[in-house]
A and B are shown apart, each in its own frame.
Chain A
Amino acid sequence: QVQLVQSGAEVKKPGASVKVSCKASGYTFREYGISWVRQAPGQGLEWMGWISAYSSATNYAQKFQGRVIMTTNPYTSTAYMELRSLRSDDTAVYYCARARREPTQNWFDPWGQGTLVHVSS
């Protein structure tokens, strides 16, 4: 079955970077994209960006431009989301979701189990 399995929880200090992985299985990785979404404690869902596993094209939310890098490794069917210059308000659960190969953000299915990133001094 189609599945996305994310890396484990992380604790980081302010100013550090975190890299979350999302390993796909059950489908042809390069035929789709991966979108990243986060949810801070007590807050709603927030779209962070998208990467095409076919072309490696990316599209980042303005809020994260310059601070986020999304990549893929087609050989291991794994997508990565690296967030730099972490702040306390980056504390959140980060999700990956299978998306279209094209940048249209109209379909996220399925989702990974989520990765908690806690930023604290």
Chain B
Amino acid sequence: NFILTQPPSVSESPGKTVTISCTRSSGSIASYYVQWFQKRPGSSPRPLIYEDNQRRSGVPDRFSGSVDTSSNSASLTISGLKTEDEAEYYCQSYDSTYHGVFGGGTKLTVL
């Protein structure tokens, strides 16, 4: 199996841009699509990005996803940060047996 490693926390000021990384431990990041979810306490995960960089309908274009094969990682970038973006963010992918794996989550603080 493989692991998706995310930083436990990031913080940035309103209006700025933040990038959350998601590094795959084995297997090519380019071979298996990555999804991103926003999770607030007491709420269900909200899909943001699917298939590496496809924004879910209704998600502001301030949210974008990308993949970097050189670092075998995916990234979620949030620009024009708002206080309402404060939440936990999870990446997710799968392996050759179609088993899903989530990253450990990144707590975003907008201060």
Most interface-central of B32, B90, B100 (chain A CB within 10 A)? B100
- CB contacts under 8 Å to B, within A33-62, are 35, 37, 44-47, 50, 59, 61-62
SS of A interface (majority): loop
Contact, CB under 8 Å: A111 / B50 = no
The proximity string for B residues 34-75 relative to A, scoring 1 for CB distances below 8 Å and 0 otherwise, is: 010101000011110011000010000000000000000000
Which residues in A have their C-beta under 8 angstroms from that of B56?
A: 109
Contact residues on B (Cβ < 8 Å of other chain), bracket? 20 to 34
Q: Does A105 have its Cβ within 8 Å of any Cβ on chain B?
A: yes
Contact, CB under 8 Å: A105 / B98 = yes
From B1, B32, B47, A108 is in contact (CB under 8 Å) with B47
Q: How far is the CA of A26 from the CA of B104 in the complex (A)?
A: 32
The proximity string for B residues 94-108 relative to A, scoring 1 for CB distances below 8 Å and 0 otherwise, is: 100111111111000
Contact, CB under 8 Å: A47 / B92 = yes
10 pairs across A/B with beta carbons < 8 Å?
A47-B99, A50-B100, A59-B98, A95-B45, A105-B94, A106-B94, A107-B51, A108-B47, A110-B44, A110-B47
Residues of B within 8 A of A (CB): 1, 32-33, 35, 37, 39, 44-47, 50-51, 56, 90, 92-94, 97-105
Residues of A within 8 A of B (CB): 35, 37, 44-47, 50, 59, 61-62, 95, 97, 103-114
A61-B100, A62-B99, A114-B44 known; 14 other A-B pairs, CB under 8 Å? A37-B45, A37-B100, A44-B103, A45-B90, A47-B102, A59-B98, A95-B45, A103-B98, A104-B94, A105-B100, A106-B50, A108-B35, A108-B47, A110-B47
